[in-house]
Chain A
Amino acid sequence: MAPRKHSDEVELYNRLTLLRTERGMSRQELADAVGVHYQTIGYLERGEYSPSATLALRLAAVFGLPMEAVFSLTPFRTLSEQVYGTKEPS
């Protein structure tokens, strides 16, 4: 079953991989913390699944951050761009 893509479907960007790695957490640990299957964390990180508001809030709470720091409707700036203020060469 191919992922449904409606023309009006909005892509949801997230920083889950970065935040999880930063905190040295495995997918299983993060999954246990928010009460989902570890496979679902993989789908979320790859942007192949958009979470419900409840799950998004739970994930943000695990990292101790506001939801908009973890999820965004526009792409996040890269780390190098934020630290050095330069764009990565494309």
Chain B
Amino acid sequence: MSTPTRTQRRAERLDDPRFERFRTLRARRLLVAALCGLLAVEAVLFLFIEASPVAVLIPLSLVIVAFVFCLGMLKASTRGIEELPADALDERQWQLRGEAYARAYRIGFGLLVLELAAVVTWRVLEWGTPGTGVLTAAVLLPFHVGLVLPTMVTAWSSRA
């Protein structure tokens, strides 16, 4: 018997029956809501990072730890179909993953348009130079959203 590859081990870990309680539609959608909440808290914290960096650093670290845990649970809840390569998925999972990525692309593009609209509005209304916190958030938040969006969309699906 050949030893399982890294992909097979990852697929087995994500398909662990111990995570079954996170796989109901309600649990998955609650996790998605929690992750959205954490992203919102992260955005708010960045607004205050310039005024009091040390005071913001502690809650920001806690948010990042909670974010990682939440993302891990979310990946287990979807059995990782949004991240596993094709050879670890069957045809139904492959189809679901394709639909989730297409939807995530549309949502992501919509969010990007909103961000660009915010930048244009900022410039047109001449609100002045944004602070470091706003600039950091403008770079980091889209990165974080891009990182988790396919997982969130897959978890939200009733067919995952």
User: Residues of A with Cβ closer than 8 Å to B?
Assistant: 1-3, 35-37, 40, 43, 48-49, 51-52, 55
Contacts and interface: CB of A to CB of B under 8 A. Distances in A.
Nearest to A31: B90
Contacts of A55: 91
B90 A35 contact: yes
10 contacts: A1-B99, A1-B156, A36-B91, A36-B92, A37-B92, A37-B93, A40-B91, A40-B92, A49-B92, A55-B91
Interface of B: 15, 79, 89-93, 96, 99-100, 103, 153, 156-160
A48 B91 contact: no
Contacts, number: 34
A55 B92 CA distance: 10
Contacts of A49: 92
Nearest to B93: A37
B158 A2 contact: yes
Q: Looking at A37, A49, A52, which has the most chain B CB atoms within 10 Å of its CB?
A: A37
B91 A52 contact: yes
Contacts of A40: 90-93
Nearest to A34: B90
